[in-house]
Amino acid sequence: MMYTYLKNNKFSILTVLALAFLLSACGGGKKNKAYTSIQADESVKPSFMPVKGIRYTEVRRAFKNGVSFNNDGYQLEPEWHLSFLSDDSVNIYNPKRKMFVNAPLLFDHDSLFNVAWSWMRLRKLTRDSIIFQVMKVKGRKLNRDSSVVYMTLYADDYIKNKLHTDAATLMRPRRADTLFILNKAALASKDTSKAFSARDQAVLKSKTPLLTIKQIDPIAEDDQREGMNQDYMLPEYSITIKKAYDDFKYAFSVRIDADGSMHFLRSVNFMYEEFVASSNRAMKGIVDGYFKAYLNVKPGTTLGIPHSSFIIVNVVGAKKG
């Protein structure tokens, strides 16, 4: 009975075998297929062996809109220098230690890698360039909506011998960055609530021995030794005023406009409701009186563009001094 069935269905069986062979051949091809980009074929597991030993330098780090600044004024800066040693290790520059170190490279799935303890999605891989998408991971949960930062790395040889330039030139802010800051500065001049952090913070200098000022550095001493920069997002200052009208101590925020003028905003400390009005008057008086008389102020700038920004001041007044 089985012989009769095979004889009568010879064509169908041959067809099935042929299809199976073709599918097997396709599968084998995918196994040996080289990864180039996530758009080309997301199912192919990337391998870094084709680019083993090539030294790459990050030349651009930007948000999804192509701009390196966010609405608060924070600037993304390229800093990675790396080469792949294998499919499970990478040699990467550590800016804190100022040396190259070997770090693990772990593949998860869906072109997702943990590179030097950072989660990345590989968007493009060639001998000339690499594009990573920085992934936000909390616990074991991947937040795709918040993963809006992209890193572009070029091979050092590509930069030198094909583009005929250097990494520092490629890292410079682009026209899109300048237009973004110009627009934000214009908005801040019309609406003071739109003020944002200055990449080059405002400079405050005393005009008299009666006022001393010192910027508070929030970066720990250990981090300073390892090369971390002073935080520019919200500069904080300690100010002492001698021969003041009274003894006082306040901490409050100030807006510095593009013309260098200073404006009291609000206390940063809790106050009971019955003291709010009188304390606000006193703090506003300190800004309008002492600060304007005793300080020279250069406004904060971003990409050379002056704009409104914020600072925190801790002010101590001494009646005797």
Do 161 and 260 lie in a common domain?
no
- The residue with greater pLDDT, 205 or 2, is 205
Q: How would residue 108 be classed by pLDDT, with cut points 50, 70 and 90? A: confident
Alpha carbon 265 to its chain's center: 28
d(CA 23, CA 69): 48
Provide mean pLDDT across the span 249-256. 98
**Domain end marker among 172, 206, 221:** 172
Tell me: the pLDDT tens digits for 53-90?
A: 999 999 999 999 999 999 999 999 999 999 999 999 99
- The residue with greater pLDDT, 297 or 217, is 297
Is 22 among the domain residues? no
Q: What is the DSSP string of 66-115?
A: S-SB-TT--B-----EEEE-SSSEEEEEETTTTEEEEEEEEE-STTEEEE
Please, what sign has the CA dihedral across residues 142, 145, 149, 151? positive
Do 270 and 223 lie in a common domain?
yes
Is 2 among the domain residues? no
Q: How would residue 318 be classed by pLDDT, with cut points 50, 70 and 90? A: very high
Is 256 among the domain residues? yes
d(CA 117, CA 315): 42
Domain count, the chain: 2
Is 153 among the domain residues? yes
C-alpha distance from residue 91 to each of 60, 80, 85, 120 (Å): 20, 11, 7, 16
The residue among 56, 112, 113, 121 whose CA lies nearest residue 84 is: 56
Mean pLDDT of the chain: 86
Do 201 and 311 lie in a common domain?
yes
Give the neighbor-by-neighbor strand order of the sheet with 248-256: 211-216, 236-242, 309-318, 248-256, 262-267
Is 23 among the domain residues? no
Do 192 and 102 lie in a common domain?
no
Do 108 and 206 lie in a common domain?
no
pLDDT at res. 282? 98
Quote the domain boundaries for residue 256.
184-318
The residue among 232, 254, 238 whose CA lies nearest residue 301 is: 232
Q: What percent of the chain has pLDDT over 70?
A: 82
The residue among 163, 159, 197, 202 whose CA lies nearest residue 181 is: 197
The residue among 244, 214, 252, 248 whose CA lies nearest residue 316 is: 248
pLDDT at res. 28? 44
* Low-confidence winner among 72-76, 125-129, 146-150, 170-174 (lowest mean pLDDT): 146-150
Do 64 and 138 lie in a common domain?
yes
CATH code for the domain in which residue 135 is found: 2.40.128
Supply 158's token pair: 């590509």
Do 65 and 147 lie in a common domain?
yes
Q: How would residue 26 be classed by pLDDT, with cut points 50, 70 and 90? A: very low
Do 78 and 158 lie in a common domain?
yes
Is 149 among the domain residues? yes
Residue 249 β-bridge partners: 316
Provide mean pLDDT across the span 241-253. 97
C-alpha distance from residue 213 to each of 203, 217, 262 (Å): 11, 13, 15
Do 243 and 293 lie in a common domain?
yes
Is 101 among the domain residues? yes
pLDDT at res. 19? 36
Do 230 and 254 lie in a common domain?
yes
Do 205 and 265 lie in a common domain?
yes
d(CA 320, CA 222): 37
**Domain end marker among 142, 172, 202:** 172
**Domain end marker among 140, 172, 204:** 172
Do 98 and 152 lie in a common domain?
yes
Provide mean pLDDT across the span 89-93. 96
Is 80 among the domain residues? yes
